[in-house]
Amino acid sequence: MSATQQYAVLQKDVGHPSAEQMRRAFRSFSTLTDADAVRLAANAQGILLRHLSADEARAFHRALLAEGVPAAMVAESELELLPASKSLHRLSLTDTALEVYDLLGRAKPVPWSEIALVAAGSVRNVEITLTQTERTGVNLHSTFGVWPKKVVESVRKVESDSQLIMEIVLAGGAARYELDAVQFPFRYAVDRPELSMREKFVWLVREISTRATRAILNRGASDVRHGVQLVRGYPSRQAFLEEIIWLLWNATRRSQ
C-alpha cells in the first residue's frame, strides 16, 4: 500500500506574517501554542508547516487566507527541488564561467548563465536531544527543523559554532555545489592572506552573485551583493535549506 500523501503550506510572498495572524491561524491545531506561532512568524523562511495530512494542510491554509496571509498548499513531492550536494574543494573565476575542480584537480567550467541560485549564510549548528515524554500531535516545521509525528514536550538543545556556507544550484537542478568556509582553500580564488576567512567568504559570494546575473539570490547572498560585510545568520541548516527550496519553488510558480 502506498504511503499517505503529505502536504506543506507555504507563503506566496517574502513578507513575514504577524504574530497575531499566526496565533489566530494556529487555532486550527490544538497541539500548537501561541509561543509556536510567535516563533514561526519571526523566523518564517517561506515554508510554514510541512508533512501535514490533507485535512491538516487545508485547515491551516484556509486559516491563513482568512487572516490575509497569501499562502499555497502543495504536495511534499513538489518541494523535492534540490539535487544531492557536491562539496567544493577548489574553484576559480573567469569572465565566462565558474570553474569547479574535482579531487584530482580537473577543472569543469560552469557558464555564469547556468547558475540558477546562489545562497549564503552563517548557519548555526544545532544538536537537539529529545526526551521520551511525547504526546500525539501535528508535525511542526519550526526554527529548529521538523518535529516527528509525535510532538516532544521536553527538548534539550546544544548549539555549536556557526558555519559560513554558500550553496550554488544550476539551472534545471543539473547540479548543486556547497562551500563550507572552514574547509575551503580560498587561496586559489582569493589570494589575499591579509583577509580573514569571513572577508574572503564575503568577497567570493559577492563576486559569484554579481557575475551570475540570472541567479536567484537568497537573503544572505543578496545582502552581500549589495555591500553588506556581515553574513546573515540562519538559526539552523534546516531554515537555510528551506529558504532555498522556497525560492526555487516560487520561481517555478511564477514562470508557469
* CA distances from residue 235 to 36, 45, 129, 149 in whole angstroms, order as listed: 15, 11, 16, 22
Residue 163, CA atoms < 13 Å, CB-side half-sphere: 17
> Which amino acid, residue 31?
T
Query: Could you give the CA distance from residue 189 to residue 203 in angstroms, rounded to a whole number?
Result: 10
| CATH 3.30.1390.10 domain residues, the chain | 7-79
pLDDT at residue number 136 = 47
pLDDT at residue number 234 = 93
pLDDT at residue number 29 = 78
pLDDT at residue number 253 = 87
Low-confidence residues of the chain, pLDDT below 50? 1-2, 133, 135-136, 139, 142-153
- The beta-carbon contacts of 145-154 under 8 Å, at least 24 apart in sequence, are 145/236, 145/238, 146/50, 146/51, 146/238, 149/51, 151/31, 154/130
pLDDT at residue number 143 = 42
pLDDT at residue number 156 = 58
pLDDT at residue number 142 = 43
**CATH code reported for the domain at 7-79:** 3.30.1390.10
Is the separation of the CB atoms in 251 and 216 below 8 Å?
yes
Is the full-model pTM beyond 0.85? no
Which has the closest alpha carbon to 82: 242, 232, 234? 242
Digit-coded pLDDT (tens) for 16-29: 888 899 999 988 77
